[in-house]
Amino acid sequence: MQGKKKGSNTLFLFFCGNKSMEESKDPLSDRETFASIGNGVEVHMSQIEDAGVGLFATRDFPQGTPITLYEGQRISYHKAQEEEAKDPCNVLHMRSLFPLHTVIDGSRNEDGSKIIDPNSERVGKGGAAFANDALDSSFSNNAEFDVHDWGENKEDPYNRNPDERHVFIRAHVFIRTSEEIFVNYGPGHWEIVHKCKELQTCPL
């Protein structure tokens, strides 16, 4: 899993009633729409040197297809700031669920334990947190981040129900079986990577 890193909290700002029958059928509200580790994607050593593990497709994903969810432990934005203040490398694998409100730590299981072996611990879970950014490598990013709201979140932009929002990655080119999935994390990611390398507080 490749690094993501400190700036002035830029890491956490990447995203910026009753459910109707139509909304209940919204395919992006259904976890089954997305591939999961062991069913569509798996984790192996990345093809990018020194990037650690990476995410690989075990089936084809046509252009525009949702691939897999970004999942892990959900923590408050305040807690994420505290972790960043201790060591910027603590937030390498965090992604915003709701800006300035809720963050997903993709390096930890939902109970807060550190993920050691994603192919055994995360079976049936989204694998987006294990995708690397291909910037400055011989590869190209083939996926992009997306976010989807439904139910009351969709009706009210100020509603923040984490159970009615998915952060996921989507194929922006055709991804073939066995190809590694690469996604653009944006400039905040690389600020943290460079900071961690300077501090030498964690391996990258």
- Residue 2's beta-bridge partner residues? none
Show Cβ contacts of residue 177 under 8 Å, excluding neighbours closer than 6 positions: 57, 58, 59, 60
Q: What is the pLDDT along the chain (204 residues), one digit of tens a residue?
A: 554 443 434 444 444 344 444 445 689 999 999 999 999 999 999 999 988 999 999 999 999 999 999 999 999 999 999 988 887 778 778 999 998 899 999 999 999 999 999 999 999 999 999 999 998 899 999 999 999 999 899 989 888 899 999 999 999 999 999 999 999 988 776 677 777 766 665 544
Cβ 137 vs Cβ 107: under 8 Å: no
Calculate the alpha carbon distances from 5 to 21, 45, 57 in Å: 42, 21, 26
Q: pTM of the predicted model, to two decimals?
A: 0.82
pLDDT value at position 51? 87
pLDDT in tens, 106-162: 999 999 999 999 999 999 999 999 999 998 899 999 999 999 999 899 989 888 899
pLDDT value at position 21? 42
pLDDT value at position 200? 64
pLDDT value at position 175? 98
Residues in the chain: 204
Assign domain 10-199 to a CATH class.
Answer: mainly beta
Q: How far apart are CA 97 and CA 105, in angstroms?
A: 10
DSSP state of 28: G
Instruction: Return the structure tokens found at 6.
Output: 């400190």
Domain residue spans in the chain?
A: 10-199
- Please give the backbone phi and psi of residue 167, each rounded to the nearest 5 degrees, phi first: -105, 130
CB atoms within 10 A of CB 22: 7
pLDDT value at position 24? 52
pLDDT value at position 103? 94
Q: How far apart are CA 37 and CA 56, in angstroms?
A: 10
